A = this chain, B = another copy of it.
């Protein structure tokens, strides 16, 4: 790729981002739940906008929207970029939307600058990633990779009692004349996304190059002791599950610090019963969320967590029930792709950081069917899923620049792994 100034691509990206932010249920922030009116308007907007740009535009049966720039090698597997259009409730304007806006701007700029690619280039706006309306995530990308099957849509019910099938049909999708979402013609996937963490900002890097999306184990632990009067029960006669949970949480933190990056362990939810100031709790229920980029380490740490719970509860005469209700494997990004992105970033004078993603992304689904990569841009204070989510124009443009160069290598130079 020439060193043509890619900053001329930036205005379109900012424009699409600003427009997408306008499609939202009541604030604060942006709320664009799957198959809602606002969601449908956003996808319609993207289709109109990409049609105007001259892309071949289509949608599939679950509501994923694609824009395509045909390649010289007609019908060859495509190089795909993009992200998801849905948001959490009262989320920010960058999560998901940035990857779509950057992708549209990248394709437009590449085509205007270099003409048609060799490989087809596609941009996707996945219908759903957040799991904010129905109790599942990655409905968009999971239907593309085959992780989900359209036939299960009637089984998923939202908080208002509406099934995913009903919602999909009401939004204008799920029709037999619409293309099935499954794709087997994708050569590579590259996703730009905000970091949603503090690492890049704190360590002063311009972009993050993702080596793997972490796997996750989420435990629910219930410790049962003996509810008793806080005044009349001597310390030595207690079986206090709150004290037991405190010991576990404190030791868990030490174990995670000792394990070192990228291992994280979090107790985000904890509830005492009866939760009354003058009663020693009878039980406590809490979650332990553990993440790491390598299966073996994650698995060993999960085992250590179970042992810790057993050891503490046995010593304290507490009854422990531990259940594992999330157990996802780490999703590695492709070394050739992230190697290229690191090289590209450095060559552009940016300071890249090879890092794992502690949050889930569509790329973890796509990596099951094609070489995949992600570029992160810094999030101010690491805040995401909040109206306070913010990434500076400079940060967004740095990511765009890396994305453009990566897509150029893949689609124009066919430097595919």
Contact = CB atoms under 8 A, between A and B. Distances in A.
A105 interface: no
A231 B268 contact: no
Interface in A342-368: 357-360
Given A228-B382, A266-B280, A358 B275 contact: no
B257 A289 contact: no
Given A198-B237, A246-B245, A253-B243, A229 B276 contact: no
A195 B232 CA distance: 8
B278 A266 contact: yes
A197 B233 contact: yes
A346 to B, nearest CB: 23
Contact of A234 (B245, B246, B261): B261
A233 B201 CA distance: 12
Nearest to A243: B253
Nearest to A202: B237
A277 B287 contact: yes
A242 B168 CA distance: 40
Contacts of A214: 231
Contacts of A287: 277
A277 B265 CA distance: 11
A395 interface: no
A60 interface: no
Contacts of A382: 228-229, 232-233, 237
For the complex formed by this chain, how many copies does it contain in all? 2
Contacts of A336: none
A81 B250 CA distance: 49
A151 interface: no
A157 interface: no
A316 B34 CA distance: 40
B230 A268 contact: yes
Contacts of A216: 231
A271 interface: yes
A278 B267 contact: no
Contacts of A111: none
A291 interface: yes
Contacts of A233: 197-198, 264, 358, 382
Contacts of A250: 243, 246-247, 250
B234 A199 contact: yes
A280 B267 CA distance: 7
A264 B357 contact: no
A218 interface: yes
B385 A229 contact: yes
A43 B57 CA distance: 82
Interface in A240-273: 240, 242-243, 245-250, 253, 256-257, 261-272
Contacts of A271: 275
11 contacts: A199-B237, A229-B359, A230-B289, A231-B264, A231-B358, A231-B359, A232-B359, A237-B382, A268-B276, A268-B278, A277-B287
A117 interface: no
Contacts of A262: 234
A281 interface: yes
Contacts of A240: 253, 266
A253 to B, nearest CB: 5
Interface in A179-228: 195-199, 202, 214, 216, 218, 228
A52 interface: no
A5 interface: no
B230 A266 contact: yes
Contacts of A267: 242-243, 246
Contacts of A4: none
A235 interface: yes
Interface in A318-361: 357-360
Nearest to A214: B231
